[in-house]
Structure 1
Amino acid sequence: MVRTFAAIDVGSFELELGIYEITDKGNVRSVDQVKHMIALGKDTYNTGKISYRLVEEMCEVLQDFVRIMKEYQVKEYRAYATSAMREARNSQIVLEQLRVRTGIDVKIISNSEQRFISYKAIAAKDAEFQKNIQRGTAIVDVGFGSMQASLFDKDALVSTQNLPLGVLRLRELIAHEKLTQQGAQNLIAELIDNELVTYRKMYLKDREIKNLIAIGEPILSIHYKMAEGRRSEQITIQEFNRFYERLKGMTLAQTEDLFDVNEEYASLLFPTAAIYKRMLEITGAEFMWVPGIRMTDGMAAEYAEDKKLIRFNHSFENDIIVTSRNMAKRYKCYMPHIQNVEEAALKVFDSLKKYHGLGARERLLLQIAANLHSCGKFVTMRGSEECGYNMIMATEIIGLSHVEREIVANIVKYHQQKFRYNEVEVSAKPSKDSRLASTEDLSIVIAKLTAILRLANSMDRGHTGKLKDSRLNVKDGQLVIQTECAADVTLESISIADKGDFFEEIFGIRPVLRQKRRV
């Protein structure tokens, strides 16, 4: 059986439609790509909103996309909007106009979701992706609105950061200045260095980077010209530097001719090359891999994974967990306690499967919250829960939607504070394609996971792992925590009893600690 799927990317600089055929064996094949250049970002970054003229143009293009989708007999589609729509003050009005006039339901995705989708497109090139990330690797995703730099080491994601270095944003910053070509290039280089100097100090340090994976729409045009006449996706640093110097010496008109693009697009190519040039210099990477993937490729891979038509060898959930652990380390959390609470929380969650009605995605969010539950103490020891909430909301965790990040932040906030159902802040409901098992009343989901985290934290109240080897089972209306620990567990027993009221309120089950004395 072959499914025909459509992916629509409402980007900062262009609208793109990708038509894909996906087989039951997990083969994803691109059938057609249609692009229309439209500078949404130019409006957003200059005025803060999208003009009605561009809304009209978008509607016309999307109506054309609908016609193409019908020709291909597309049954399912996904349409995502990124930074330009995210930052526009009138985004909700625009999306409603698109839905009413074209029938296309466009979803605004967070930056972390956007980058995560791109990683899935790279991971679909399984053999090459796995080979590259075994050694120190930086994935540099330069888009029109921003840039994401992610560091891998031995198959694990160790950090990911978003920087305001999108090429359209850079161009708009200098658009109103009367500069010579050399002056514009110098100013762009200065703006790039200004952002990267802090990134280098905080995240690169002494980390060894061997490979740089370059993704994002702007690099595709540059790579196409560089690799003209050969199929290799690998570029040596020497090749890139030679091409960079050639591009640097070109006028805008010459760039238009070389790449066969209009003036608007040609003006973005030097900023693109300049960002990659500087990233190669500060990382010391030896090779550059341009896998040639687009946002729509990632959307097709995500859809295939959700429908269980494809399985990646790389564990993306592990990336999310490792990122949260690295965040805990950065905020000087006591990691032995963090590990004990994480293990205890998962034990409690798994023992209550018949009672909480939650799924694998909620289990992952609980795991992240356990890793970050004490991060607010980095700022203050009193009122740390509020600080923890704000720190999590200010930090993008790769692979989590904005709603999921709010769930984690609220769990951390209320694991010590009195839980008030009416005061739980979640800005929106999950979308229809959310992986959450329960999407109706998120305050109840947060309450359930908060109760579990409170109990897990109590199980390591002394921060010494006394109950590390405990066994849990539900019996006669009680969650029995059985331990053979020979040490004094009075502190843990008092804490479990203290947290038992809220736990019982949520699940109708009372947690009790039973210490089995060894003879």
Structure 2
Amino acid sequence: MAVKMFAAIEIGSFALELGIYEISEKTGIRCVDSVRHVISLGNDTFSEGKISYGLADEMCSVLEDFTGIMKTYRAREYRAYGTTALREAKNSQVILEQIRVRTGLKVRIISNSEQRFISYKAIALKTGEFNRIIQKGTAIVDVGFGSAQISLFDKDTLVTTQSLPLGTLRISSQLARIPASVKDHCLHIEEIVDNELLTFRKMYLKDRHIDNLIGIGTNIAYLMRQLGMNTAADRADAAAMEVFYKRLSQMTLDQIEENFSVNSEYAPLLLPAAAVYRRVMEATGASQFWIPGIGLCDGIAAEYASSSRLIRFNHNFENDILAAARNMAKRYKCHAGHNQTLEQYALSIFDATRKFHGMGARERLLLQIAVTLHSCGKFISIRNSNESSYNLIMSTEIIGLSHLEREIIANVVRYNIRDFDYDMIQLETHIGEENTGDLNVGAITILIAKLTAILRLANSMDKTHKAKMQDCRMAIREGELVITTGYTGDLALERASFEQKADFFEEIFGIRPVLKQKRRV
């Protein structure tokens, strides 16, 4: 099969990075060139709230050079992603337009959950090692410049993933105005890290055994050089990590520059990175530290190769997204039995009406997550559960979902028990920031309406939470969605609710759902 050249571009908080990759079905993914330009966009964003003209001009110049390198390698396919600094900058839309006009590059700002999920895919390319490690309790720690992400695995299942404001540049910016000795500076960093880890430890590490820590992110690549580990295995144990941290914490910035071969801008970021990894290792009790040596660009290439069907992953990533949603539902005491029944009904309706709704596999996944989380708000308020569910979903990152996808799910849940108003759907997401293809606000509103109609109808079928219609069959007959059940008991409440929800379903899809109950002879 022909080899495809692909370019991955990361616009990070501290650097711009270009990776050129050779991708083929036979040999997989191979990085043939990598270029990195240090530019501290995060300093502007985290201190001023926006990116200055000077940095924007420098960024565009570097990206122009990147496009020249891409042409040299004949890499016609590319993906360019912006992370924390662009995501949090008030003038991000202006910056994106400047980049487009000056370089021709279309940059997409990805959510934090997408960013971590992409890096996670790069780890999964190391199939044998990754699958073996996550059979035991494992934490993936991704320390970036703007934030850090901790994802917990147990027996090949993603238990939870949480973002913490522990990016190295963010920590460094907090301490920049505090005059202190090396020793005091180290203490301040540890206090910041410990404060953020306190809640995480109480909520997610109680009674959980973690054997392995997987460290990813740009910062770990520099730390790795000095850890003294066996480079063939890319591993260090807890004792080696502790010795290394104590040595690093006693170095001045000049000594860090010299020992790690980094410039004066990067030197202050290494101690915060080491502190986060060390403290997480202590908090989890992990004994082994694995460093697979991957970055976001590797993940971008893996994501492209997978979506283009140039390679196949052995790991099922959709299951991880669903596991994260189900763990959220469990945290908020959702009715697991009802959710399971509801998921069966909703997916059966989705599959039976495919030619009427025109949705695909991704929308089916969003429906599953909406079903899983539709009642999470009852934990906050039984009376206003739909609004509470909306707020909880909007406030909780779900790994692998974009901000827009999370917003779609939140609106589906909100309108499950509220009159649908086509003119009242308001999106926080700037459509230009998301990879929405041909979708506009109107199209997204219709998508929300379609998923809402299916969720409502499925919910009506289990009105009493007794799974009376688990044997039901669905078929399209003469312009009707005929749902047939062999249940012989009382379906009065289900029938009344079904008829009420059928009107909206017919309005959206143009077919009338009909409930039929077989009578036993």
Which TM bucket (shorter chain)?
A: over 0.9
Partner of 1:54: 55
- Kindly provide the CA deviation profile for residues 78-100 of structure 1, in whole angstroms up to 9, marking residues without a partner as x: 11000011111111111111111
Partner of 1:226: 227
Q: Helix, strand or coil for the counterpart of 1:398?
A: coil
- Kindly provide the CA deviation profile for residues 262-304 of structure 1, in whole angstroms up to 9, marking residues without a partner as x: 1211111111111111101110011011000010000000000
Q: Does 1:494 find its partner at 2:496? A: yes
Gaps of 5+ in 1: none
Q: Helix, strand or coil for the counterpart of 1:15?
A: strand
Q: CA separation of 1:431/1:59 partners in 2, compared to 1, >3 Å: closer, same or farther?
A: closer
Partner of 2:469: 467
Q: Could you tell me how far 1:479 is from its partner in structure 2?
A: 1.2
Q: Could you tell me how far 1:481 is from its partner in structure 2?
A: 1.2
Q: CA separation of 1:278/1:518 partners in 2, compared to 1, >3 Å: closer, same or farther?
A: same
The CA distance in 2 between the partners of 1:301 and 1:210, in whole Å, is: 27
Does the 8 A contact of 1:361 with 1:436 survive in 2? Answer: no
Q: Helix, strand or coil for the counterpart of 2:208?
A: coil
Q: Could you tell me how far 1:398 is from its partner in structure 2?
A: 0.6
Q: Could you tell me how far 1:461 is from its partner in structure 2?
A: 0.4
Q: Could you tell me how far 1:468 is from its partner in structure 2?
A: 1.3
AA aligned opposite 1:23: S
Q: Helix, strand or coil for the counterpart of 2:423?
A: helix
Q: Could you tell me how far 1:384 is from its partner in structure 2?
A: 1.4
The CA distance in 1 between the partners of 2:325 and 2:84, in whole Å, is: 24
Partner of 1:263: 264
Q: Does 1:329 find its partner at 2:330? A: yes
The CA distance in 1 between the partners of 2:498 and 2:507, in whole Å, is: 14
Does the 8 A contact of 1:2 with 1:22 survive in 2? Answer: yes
AA aligned opposite 2:462: D
Alignment of 1:103-502 (within 5 A): 103-227=104-228, 230-426=231-427, 427-429=429-431, 434=436, 441-502=443-504
Does the 8 A contact of 1:359 with 1:437 survive in 2? Answer: no
AA aligned opposite 1:188: I
The CA distance in 1 between the partners of 2:49 and 2:441, in whole Å, is: 31
Q: Could you tell me how far 1:428 is from its partner in structure 2?
A: 3.7
Q: CA separation of 1:227/1:71 partners in 2, compared to 1, >3 Å: closer, same or farther?
A: farther
Deviates more, 1:363-372 or 1:264-273: 264-273
AA aligned opposite 1:13: F
Q: CA separation of 1:167/1:107 partners in 2, compared to 1, >3 Å: closer, same or farther?
A: same
AA aligned opposite 1:505: E
The CA distance in 1 between the partners of 2:370 and 2:58, in whole Å, is: 43
Q: Could you tell me how far 1:429 is from its partner in structure 2?
A: 3.4
The CA distance in 2 between the partners of 1:25 and 1:479, in whole Å, is: 45
AA aligned opposite 1:389: Y
TM (normalized to structure 2)? 0.97
Deviates more, 1:458-467 or 1:233-242: 233-242
- Kindly provide the CA deviation profile for residues 461-518 of structure 1, in whole angstroms up to 9, marking residues without a partner as x: 0001111121111112221111112321111111111111101111121112111122
Q: Helix, strand or coil for the counterpart of 2:255?
A: helix
Does the 8 A contact of 1:156 with 1:322 survive in 2? Answer: yes
Deviates more, 1:454-463 or 1:417-426: 417-426
Deviates more, 1:472-481 or 1:361-370: 472-481
Q: Helix, strand or coil for the counterpart of 1:421?
A: coil
Q: Helix, strand or coil for the counterpart of 1:329?
A: helix
- Kindly provide the CA deviation profile for residues 143-164 of structure 1, in whole angstroms up to 9, marking residues without a partner as x: 0000000001111111010000
The CA distance in 2 between the partners of 1:263 and 1:206, in whole Å, is: 42
Q: Could you tell me how far 1:411 is from its partner in structure 2?
A: 0.4
- Kindly provide the CA deviation profile for residues 323-370 of structure 1, in whole angstroms up to 9, marking residues without a partner as x: 111111111111111111111100100000111100000000000000
Q: Helix, strand or coil for the counterpart of 1:332?
A: coil
The CA distance in 2 between the partners of 1:498 and 1:390, in whole Å, is: 26
Q: Could you tell me how far 1:376 is from its partner in structure 2?
A: 1.1
AA aligned opposite 1:162: S
The CA distance in 2 between the partners of 1:484 and 1:430, in whole Å, is: 49
The CA distance in 1 between the partners of 2:381 and 2:27, in whole Å, is: 49
The CA distance in 2 between the partners of 1:423 and 1:232, in whole Å, is: 55
- Percent of residue pairs identical: 57
The CA distance in 2 between the partners of 1:287 and 1:229, in whole Å, is: 13
Does the 8 A contact of 1:448 with 1:506 survive in 2? Answer: yes
Deviates more, 1:99-108 or 1:406-415: 99-108
Does the 8 A contact of 1:358 with 1:438 survive in 2? Answer: no
Deviates more, 1:236-245 or 1:413-422: 236-245
Partner of 2:516: 514
Q: Helix, strand or coil for the counterpart of 1:85?
A: helix
Q: Helix, strand or coil for the counterpart of 1:79?
A: strand
Q: Helix, strand or coil for the counterpart of 1:422?
A: coil
The CA distance in 2 between the partners of 1:383 and 1:511, in whole Å, is: 28
Partner of 1:88: 89
The CA distance in 2 between the partners of 1:412 and 1:376, in whole Å, is: 10
Q: Could you tell me how far 1:26 is from its partner in structure 2?
A: 6.0
AA aligned opposite 2:269: L
Partner of 1:76: 77
Does the 8 A contact of 1:430 with 1:439 survive in 2? Answer: no
Q: Helix, strand or coil for the counterpart of 1:415?
A: helix
AA aligned opposite 1:489: L
Q: Could you tell me how far 1:410 is from its partner in structure 2?
A: 0.7
Q: Report how many aligned residue pairs link the two structures.
A: 519
AA aligned opposite 1:331: Y
Q: CA separation of 1:439/1:47 partners in 2, compared to 1, >3 Å: closer, same or farther?
A: closer
Q: Helix, strand or coil for the counterpart of 1:425?
A: coil
The CA distance in 1 between the partners of 2:32 and 2:382, in whole Å, is: 57
Gaps of 5+ in 2: none
**Cα RMSD (Å):** 1.6
